[in-house]
Chain A
Amino acid sequence: MRELALFELNCVCYCSHPPEGCKDFQQADTEHLSRWKRWKRTSSKSLKKALSEVKGFSSYLVLWRHDIHSIEGKFGTGIQSYFSFLRFLVLLNFIIFILMFSFITLPIIISKYGIFNNTIVNISPKYIDNCTIYEPSGNKGLVYFYTYLQDLLSGTGILEVTSLFYGYYTIDAIWISTMRYNLPLAYLLATFAYLALSLLWIIKRSVEGFKQNLVHDADPFQSYCNKVFAGWDFCITDPNAARLKHRSLQCELQTDLQEEKLKQKIAERTMKEKLRIYSLRIFINIIVLAILSGFFYSIYRVTVFSQENSNDVDNANFQANLLVQYLPSMVITLANFIGPLIFSFLIRFEDYTPAFEIKMTLLRCVFLRLANIGVLLFSLWSQISDCGTDKCKPCGYNYKLYPCWESDVGQEMYKLMIFDFIVILAVPLFVDFPRMLLVTHCSCKLVQWFGLQEFGISDSVLEIIYGQTICWIGTFFAPLLPAIATIKYFVIFYIKKICLKHTRKPAARPIRASSSNFFFLLVLLIGLILAFIPVGVSIARIPSSKACGPFRNFNTSWEVIPDTIVTFPTGLQQVLFGMASEAFAVPFFMIICIIMFYFTALARAHKRVVEQLREQLVLHGFTFQEMLMCDLA
């Protein structure tokens, strides 16, 4: 609300003497109350004071509070919202890590130290065959030094048998005195829990942004006057903030003028021109689809190639092996880099309004990034479920190449995450830093025209959302992945901060914080919902590997739940099975739809009421002014 201060200065000096009659008034008031009420009042006052002190103290505990505050002051609220978003992701990943660690890894570690008894998974006889042969390379004794590096970077070898990956969790149950801690069930429930937690937390955060977006859109009424006469914030005393405000006002006015011009142009279009524009748009969309398919196909082929050649463990050439392993990540990163450039080039021909151009480009980039991960997973699954020529007969999946396929998927996600981290570290170091040095020390015109890199908020946000989606998908297959993600985002915060201060200049077009916050969370939500699909398919469709992991006894990972429900009392069983049947699901779905329609209608009605009230206030104010003027006359 700072922007609304019309001719108001916050003077630094203030009076420390309270108004004279104040204290006497308060005392006189309390004399009339009974002792009970007096006690209530004083206790509520002290409680409020205590609460405000706790709030004040806990605000000091907020991570990076001072850093984000100073960024907001120097670079504006748009960039500050990016850093708040980073902080949110650090916390989210940390909580997910605590969840997975305490429910899954910690019991195993405790039981391995002998504090509790545990039972290892017993495999039923029908599977004992080739399905259970699983020999991770582990520690083979004397190896070259670089195999450790290779293992660290690709998650194979030593790392494969650690608690990082799914294959480590072979314990079936842990006995705490007489209670049985069902580990497979805990694993599955923890997975659902972290997905649900992320969903609820994101929705909670986006509710505030959504409320603002719903009630207030761009105000067409008197927008120029508002900007010219009521645009300047008289409370600004910092030169950087002033510079930002000047620039934002300039950009807002320019954008408004551009939209105005474009609207006029659109209105004046002849039928012939409209046809031309629409056919051009269709053509460009086809080109975009073709480019996307090209990317997807290349990712598919590269993944298949990488999988086929990296299973060749005897490959002695360290660098070639690493290259082959990282080939999918490299291709995906390349696609993520080239795609947005092509999209922003193409959209100029489509002749949209500037605001819509931005939205359209962002939409296409988001789709590209998230679909790339999807294609990678799809190609992995096509390899794992490659059941031609009876490759999967005993076990339901390609057991020869993938004795422990969950660990393999986990490794791919791990590689993606590590490569993403390396790229985010490398770009400032090898691109931005030299560029900044060139620009500051070389005064030749070409270099100065090139200038510093802009801090593109949308690109940076899409980067971290891409990383977070990988983390969500990968946590089922590699339970300690959130820890890596936490560390990664923690480091990224400082890198981006340094980048912002020294090597980049803020975007020419300042972005509003409220709309951008909502946009970030919306895209994050899309990423999360897309992450449900691979995890869901892995749990429910693909048979779990019989050679490793906690679900060796079950057909699919999901089967733990029906198995557990069978052990419940019959009444409860019937209720739960009833809930899963169609007779319940269809009416439930219909009721949810009705409730949703109700709330949408309510929101629309509220919006209408707000508009009406606003108009009334304006009219009321106008009439009041008129009355005043008549009075004076």
Chain B
Amino acid sequence: GVTFCPKELHGRYYEMAPNVVPMDYTKDPDVKLPMQLIINMPELKENPFKERIVESFSEDGEGSLSFNDFVDMFSVLSEMAPRELKAIYAFKIYDFNTDNFICKADLEKTLNKLTREELTAEEITLVCEKVIEEADMDGDGKLGYADFENMISKAVLHLQIR
């Protein structure tokens, strides 16, 4: 488990684009780095959801992160963040069409990212049906935040008992 100081984070943000990011943040400059630079960071490079992660933390929704967004992202992703906060952002990440519901289309995209599109269409449909069957509590055919949070807490608890 590791903690990191803001200085280190600033260093990482700076070294991605040294000619754009200022060294001095006291005047609160309005600098945003594009998604392409962020998703090339070693911590995120192999993550299938890297684009969604960066998009969920970016204020303008297009994927460019200001330094504040950058710090937010790493604090939610670190070990220290409370589980509820993680669940909120996890829901945002899996909600591809940002309609505040994880519907079947979102699940299909999630699966394709997870398995690098190696599953057949029939298999994807079956898995999506199973997931909705397991997690949908209010019966609307898609996962709202309440369903998702409930399911995640059970998943974490189950896995922790091993």
Using a CB–CB distance below 8 Å, which chain A residues touch chain B?
1, 3-4, 6-15, 17, 212, 216, 219, 221-222, 224-226, 228-232, 234, 236-239, 241-242, 246-247, 249-250, 253-254, 257, 260, 610, 613-614, 617-618, 621-622, 625, 628-629
From the candidates B43, B116, B146, B158, name the one contacting A237 in the complex (CB within 8 A). B43
A-B contact count (CB 8 A): 152
Beyond A3-B159, A15-B4, A221-B154, list 5 extra A-B contacts (CB 8 Å): A8-B77, A13-B2, A229-B152, A621-B153, A628-B84
By a CB distance below 8 angstroms, the chain A residues around B161 are: 610, 613-614, 617
B115 and A253 form a contact (CB under 8 A)? yes
Give CA–CA (A257, B126) in the complex, Å. Answer: 8
| Interface presence of B49 (CB below 8 A) | yes
A253 and B74 form a contact (CB under 8 A)? no
Give CA–CA (A241, B47) in the complex, Å. Answer: 11
B79 and A225 form a contact (CB under 8 A)? no
Highest count of chain B CB atoms <10 Å: which of A11, A17, A246:
A11
B4 and A253 form a contact (CB under 8 A)? no
From the candidates B5, B90, B135, name the one contacting A222 in the complex (CB within 8 A). B135
| Interface presence of B8 (CB below 8 A) | yes
By a CB distance below 8 angstroms, the chain B residues around A221 are: 154, 158
| Interface presence of B27 (CB below 8 A) | no
Q: What is the CB-to-nearest-CB distance from A258 to chain B, in angstroms, rounded to a whole number?
A: 10
Give CA–CA (A610, B77) in the complex, Å. Answer: 31
From the candidates A6, A219, A253, name the one contacting B123 in the complex (CB within 8 A). A253
Give CA–CA (A212, B160) in the complex, Å. Answer: 14
Q: What is the CB-to-nearest-CB distance from A269 to chain B, in angstroms, rounded to a whole number?
A: 21
Q: Which 10 A-B pairs have the closest CB atoms?
A: A242-B46, A13-B8, A250-B115, A14-B2, A224-B130, A15-B5, A9-B77, A230-B155, A4-B159, A226-B155
Give CA–CA (A246, B156) in the complex, Å. Answer: 20
Proximity string of chain B (118-131) to chain A, C-beta cutoff 8 Å, 1 when within and 0 when not = 11000100110011
Query: How many residues on B have C-beta within 8 angstroms of the other chain's C-beta atoms?
Result: 58
Q: Please, could you name 17 A-B residue pairs with CB atoms under 8 Å apart, sorted by A?
A: A4-B162, A7-B90, A10-B2, A11-B2, A11-B78, A13-B8, A14-B8, A15-B2, A226-B159, A229-B148, A229-B152, A232-B114, A246-B115, A246-B116, A250-B116, A253-B111, A625-B149
By a CB distance below 8 angstroms, the chain B residues around A14 are: 2-4, 8
A614 and B127 form a contact (CB under 8 A)? no
Q: What is the CB-to-nearest-CB distance from B95 to chain A, in angstroms, rounded to a whole number?
A: 12
From the candidates B8, B48, B154, name the one contacting A618 in the complex (CB within 8 A). B154
Give CA–CA (A515, B42) in the complex, Å. Answer: 32
B115 and A230 form a contact (CB under 8 A)? no
A257 and B123 form a contact (CB under 8 A)? yes
Q: What is the CB-to-nearest-CB distance from B3 to chain A, in angstroms, rounded to a whole number?
A: 5
B77 and A7 form a contact (CB under 8 A)? yes
From the candidates A9, A230, A232, A241, name the one contacting B49 in the complex (CB within 8 A). A232
Give CA–CA (A11, B13) in the complex, Å. Answer: 13
B46 and A224 form a contact (CB under 8 A)? no
Contact residues of B between 132 and 156, Cβ < 8 Å to A: 134-135, 146, 148-156
Using a CB–CB distance below 8 Å, which chain B residues touch chain A?
1-5, 8-9, 11-12, 42-43, 45-49, 74, 76-79, 81, 84, 86, 89-90, 94, 107, 110-111, 114-116, 118-119, 123, 126-127, 130-131, 134-135, 146, 148-162
Give CA–CA (A9, B151) in the complex, Å. Answer: 22
Give CA–CA (A225, B79) in the complex, Å. Answer: 22
Supposing A12-B42, A229-B152, A250-B115 touch, asked if A6 and B158 sit within 8 A by C-beta, the answer is no
By a CB distance below 8 angstroms, the chain A residues around B159 are: 3-4, 226, 230
From the candidates A15, A237, A253, A628, name the one contacting B42 in the complex (CB within 8 A). A237
From the candidates B79, B130, B154, name the one contacting A622 in the complex (CB within 8 A). B154
Give CA–CA (A260, B47) in the complex, Å. Answer: 29
A7 and B154 form a contact (CB under 8 A)? no
- Residue in B closest to A610 when the chains form the complex, CB atoms: B161
By a CB distance below 8 angstroms, the chain B residues around A237 are: 42-43, 45-46
Q: What is the CB-to-nearest-CB distance from B119 to chain A, in angstroms, rounded to a whole number?
A: 6
Highest count of chain A CB atoms <10 Å: which of B47, B119, B135:
B47
Supposing A224-B130, A237-B46 touch, asked if A229 and B90 sit within 8 A by C-beta, the answer is yes
- Residue in B closest to A17 when the chains form the complex, CB atoms: B5
Supposing A228-B110, A228-B114 touch, asked if A7 and B86 sit within 8 A by C-beta, the answer is yes
By a CB distance below 8 angstroms, the chain A residues around B4 are: 11, 13-15
By a CB distance below 8 angstroms, the chain B residues around A253 are: 111, 115, 119, 123, 127
B78 and A9 form a contact (CB under 8 A)? yes
B77 and A618 form a contact (CB under 8 A)? no
B77 and A228 form a contact (CB under 8 A)? no
Give CA–CA (A433, B33) in the complex, Å. Answer: 49
By a CB distance below 8 angstroms, the chain A residues around B46 are: 236-239, 241-242
Give CA–CA (A485, B11) in the complex, Å. Answer: 55
